[in-house]
Amino acid sequence: MQMLLNVNNIEVKYQNAILVLKGVSFSLTEGKIVTIIGANGAGKTTTLKAISGLLHTEDGEVTHGSIEFNGKKIDRMKPEEISQMGILQALEGRKVFEHLTVEENLRVVANRGTKRIGIKKNLDKIYNYFPRLKDVKNLESGYLSGGEMQMLVIGSCVMASPRILLLDEPSLGLSPILVKEIFAIVKKINQEEKATILLVEQNANAALSIAEYGFVMENGRIVLDGTMEKLKNNEDVKEFYLGLSRINERRSYREVKHYKRRKRWLG
């Protein structure tokens, strides 16, 4: 099976001083949904920004290793060049043009896809995935609810016909019902658009409900990876990432491993 994206042992620093990613490697198989789960501050967003090139806008840099898309090195490329190649990042915190209507926002980002199928067809496609957006298409985006805003952010990326869609915590601040609805649409987009999806999430339950393969990230490193089945059945992942009721008191996967080893040694 062909690897669409290869992240090879990257190290990322901000301001040439703050080391955040400490040798991260993984690959994306074309057409699959892959997730990176991890707690706050693990380095998930930084990983996405390294791929999309947005790191450069924050004085961040890949200081070691490389990122290849379709065999081409992209870690030195500008964000606009990377998005032109079809790698689109839906930003955490839902950034849209608040004074533009929903439809104006969608029109603004239309580029690659629109050239191919025309703006009307492209808009219809987005409204088909997100019927709610059609209902509010003339509303100024600043007035949207959290869920509608998330739909607009994802819809805007789909408008540009992504080869790879990078999703940064789409579940953030949404009710469980909305999370379920939006994740089901993400799955549909993956299947119908043949878009490869890299989803980063703190909500491991939701992420593993649609991803086929996952990575667990802690403190700038990948500490575990496996198929959705393997991760869902892993005792430590169950305890520390899927035990949502204990989300605030969980320790790290590494600490647990260490703790378990010590327990074994102590009998």
Number of neighbours of residue 172 by Cβ within 10 angstroms: 15
CB of 36 to ligand ATP, least distance (A): 8
In single-letter form, the type of residue at position 185 comes to I
Residue 41 or 131: the one with the smaller Cβ distance to ligand ATP is: 41
Environment class of 259 (CB within 10 Å of its CB; exposed 0-12, middle 13-18, buried 19+)? exposed
Q: Calculate the dihedral angle through the C-alpha atoms of 55, 56, 58, 60, rounding to the nearest 10 degrees.
A: 70
Q: Are 243 and 257 in contact (CB under 8 A)?
A: no
- Interface mask toward ligand ATP for 89-128; x: CB under 6 A: ---x------------------------------------
Residue 20 or 149: the one with the smaller Cβ distance to ligand ATP is: 20
CB of 92 to ligand ATP, least distance (A): 6
Residue 41 or 142: the one with the smaller Cβ distance to ligand ATP is: 41
Is residue 23 close enough to count as binding ligand ATP by CB under 6 A? no
Q: Which one, of 195, 200, 199, lies nearest residue 161 by Cα?
A: 195
Cα–Cα dist 167/101, whole Å = 22
CB of 46 to ligand ATP, least distance (A): 3
Kindly indicate which of the ranges 40-48, 147-155, 204-212, 230-238 contains the residues binding ligand ATP, using the contact rule CB under 6 A.
40-48
Among 34, 44, 50, 208, which residue interacts with ligand ATP (rule: CB under 6 A)? Answer: 44
Cα–Cα dist 76/67, whole Å = 9
Is residue 202 close enough to count as binding ligand ATP by CB under 6 A? yes
Environment class of 18 (CB within 10 Å of its CB; exposed 0-12, middle 13-18, buried 19+)? exposed
Kindly indicate which of the ranges 44-52, 130-138, 180-188, 221-229 contains the residues binding ligand ATP, using the contact rule CB under 6 A.
44-52
Beta bridge partners of 14: 18, 60
CB of 56 to ligand ATP, least distance (A): 11
Is residue 245 close enough to count as binding ligand ATP by CB under 6 A? no
Chain positions contacting ligand ATP, by CB under 6 A: 14, 18, 20, 38, 40-46, 58, 60, 92, 202
